[in-house]
Amino acid sequence: MRRILLLLSLAGCAFAQSESFNHVKWTMTVESATTAPGGTVLARLTAQVDPEWHMYSLSTPPGPIPTTIKTVNGGALAKVTFFEPPPIRKYDPNFQADTETYEGTQVFLARIELRKDAAPGNITIAFQPRYQTCSGTQCIPPRTRDISAVVAVAEGTPSAAITIPAGYLEAKPNAGGQTAPASTDTLAFLALAFGFGLAAIFTPCVFPMIPITMSYFTGQRGGFAQALTFCLGIIFLFTGIGIVTTLALGPSGVVQLGSNPWVNGFIALIFFAFGLSLLGAFEITIPSGILTRLNTASNAGGYIGSLLMGLTFALASFACVGPFMGTLLAASVEGDKLRPVIGMATFSTGLALPFFLLALFPGWLAKMPRSGEWLSRVKVVMGFFVIAAMLKYIYSLDAVLQTGFLTRERFLAAWAVLFAMAGFYLLGFVRLPGVRATPS
């Protein structure tokens, strides 16, 4: 008996913790418990949101995960129309966009029309709300709850008048949102990824390898096909990294990470580290043992050898390519769950494109500029840009925590200083690797 009581108490504690973790308590009632077949009833779905937490409306703009209400076992129902109370529309620093939220106790309405052939007797009407809750510093992944109420169906029951209170809006998913900005944002992200791939070409670890690599392919039979396989090796490696990232985070993990301000702080640290790497403070390298094994395997020749050669090249150039790749992966958590994959695929395409074009037009190889200290200049200038991007994440974190440390004025001033430093560096007034001091 004691064991049973202990198990019941543990189950009760677990249930209480689960209710607390959801941060929303749902209940359901119907305005009229009896109706005729084909009649209409009004259900009230009450959501009690914990203090200092909020959930999002059924038609919130893109960014957070909107609340949805699904009908469960609706065989006796002909049509269900949901209405939501007026939400609070304001800027949400978690998602850096305007959102529609609910706080406290909110009542959603469901106008339920029964089928005309509904059998007399009691029927259970059930709904399943799915919702995301956020506080000022974190967001909880979407949760689902089952709520239900019983309605008696009886012939000859007079139909009650259904009145929707003033201010309620018919719930239409994403009615308040616009898809164009999200699409534009994705295109901007892909353009950034492709630009990063092209920029990584002009670094000391990559650019000097282009003539060597292309001379290897042009001297072999089927050189173009092998060069294409080499490019696919580069794309497969970086796209694989994006796939692993997506699988590790889960279906909604990418979006949840992007909405967490502490993760944004961690991303800022990653940007800072990679920015310092591009500025020459240190190098991020792959263990030499892995490179040696891949290089040995690539010497086998043929298409497999070319594919492995592409993998070896991508890893060997990690000291310069890694900061671009890491910065892009960190930025990808702000979007949907496929951003790491499409971001890495686009980045690697930009990185592999010059090799493909040179294999297609070998005469261009002789017209390429020679390696020199200008490569280090490109790398260092990109370091300033990455650190400037880091400030954007710190600014978002500061907006959530409301510390007032990085105000808009300080943010713009820091950007101006960083871009000025990049200009002074190119002019030789700032002593960093790649540029000699300006003669006095």
pLDDT in tens, 317-333: 666 676 677 667 766 65
- Give the pLDDT confidence of 332-370 residue by residue, as tens digits: 655 556 778 888 889 889 888 888 888 777 777 777 777
- What is d(CA 219, CA 221) in angstroms, rounded to the nearest whole number? 7
* pLDDT recorded at residue 301: 56
The C-alpha torsion from 154 through 155 and 159 to 164, rounded to 10°, is 40
- Reply yes or no on whether the pLDDT at 312 is more than 90: no
Give the pLDDT confidence score for residue 84 in this predicted structure. 92
Query: pTM of the entire structure?
Result: 0.47
| pLDDT score at 176 | 38
Q: Are 70 and 132 part of one and the same domain?
A: yes
- Lowest average pLDDT, out of 108-122, 209-223, 229-243, goes to 209-223
Question: How many domains is the chain partitioned into structurally?
Answer: 2
* Tokens 């991508």 found at: 314
Average pLDDT, the chain: 75
Domain holding 253, by residue range, is: 181-370
Q: Are residues 309 and 353 in the same domain?
A: yes
Q: Which two tokens stand for residue 19?
A: 């209710």
> Given this model, what pLDDT does residue 147 score?
92
Higher pLDDT, 211 or 402: 211
Whether residues 287 and 210 share a domain: the answer is: yes
Helix/strand/coil (H/E/C) assignment for every residue in the chain: CHHHHHHHHHHHHHHHHHHHHHCEEEEEEECCCEECCCCEEEEEEEEEECCCCEEECCCCCCCCCCCEEEEECCCCEEEEEEEECCCEEEEECCCCEEEEEECCEEEEEEEEEECCCCCCEEEEEEEEEEEEEECCCCEEEEEECCEEEEEEECCCCCCCCCCCCCCCEECCCCCCCCHHHHHHHHHHHHHHHHHHHHHHHCCCCCCCHHHHHHHHHHCCCCHHHHHHHHHHHHHHHHHHHHHHHHHHHCCCHHHHHHCCHHHHHHHHHHHHHHHHHHCCCCCCCCCHHHHHHHHHHHCCCHHHHHHHHHHHHHHHCHHHHHHHHHHHHHHHCCCCCCHHHHHHHHHHHHHHHHHHHHHHCHHHHHHCCCCCHHHHHHHHHHHHHHHHHHHHHHHHHHHHHCCCCCCHHHHHHHHHHHHHHHHHHHHCCCCCCCCCCCCC
Residues 121, 189 within the same domain: no
Residue 332: phi and psi, rounded to 5, are -70, -15
Task: Show which of 370, 398, 422 is a domain's final residue.
Answer: 370
CATH of the domain at 93: 2.60.40.1250
Residue 300 and residue 231 share a domain? yes
Greater confidence (250 vs 67) lies with 67
The verdict on 185 and 334 lying in the same domain is: yes
* Contact predicate 113/42, CB 8 Å: no
Q: Does residue 348 form part of some domain?
A: yes
Residue 5 lies in a domain: no
Per-residue confidence band for 218, with pLDDT thresholds at 50, 70 and 90: low
In a domain, 430, yes or no: no
207 within domain boundaries: yes
Domain check: are 220 and 104 in the same one? no
51 and 106 both lie in a single domain: yes
Domain-located, residue 308: yes
Give 16-67 pLDDT, tens digit per residue: 333 445 689 999 999 888 888 888 999 999 999 999 899 999 888 776 788 8
Whether residue 317 sits in one domain with residue 262: yes
Query: Between 371 and 237, whose confidence is greater?
Result: 237
Q: Best-predicted range by mean pLDDT among 94-98, 151-155, 380-384? A: 151-155
Q: Which of 117-121, 229-233, 238-242, 385-389 has the highest mean pLDDT?
A: 117-121
- Between 302-316 and 223-249, two packed helices, what is the crossing angle to 10 degrees? 60
Domain endpoint, select from 370, 398, 433: 370
How confident is the model at residue 66, as a pLDDT? 86
Report the pLDDT value the prediction gives residue 260, as an integer from 0 to 100. 59
pLDDT band at 249 (very low <50, low <70, confident <90, very high): low
Judgement on whether residues 131 and 268 belong to the same structural domain of the protein:
no
Q: Is residue 428 part of a domain?
A: no
Residue 27 domain-assigned (yes or no): no
At 379 the pLDDT is 78
Residue 70 lies in a domain: yes
**Is 404 buried (19+), middle (13-18) or exposed (0-12) by CB count in 10 A?**
exposed
- Claim to verify: residue 227 and residue 342 sit in the same structural domain: yes
Q: Among 133, 152, 171, where does a domain finish?
A: 152
Q: Is there a single domain that holds both residue 234 and residue 349?
A: yes
Please tell me the predicted confidence (pLDDT) of residue 416.
92
- Between CA 49 and CA 51, with CA 50 as vertex, the angle to 5 degrees is 120
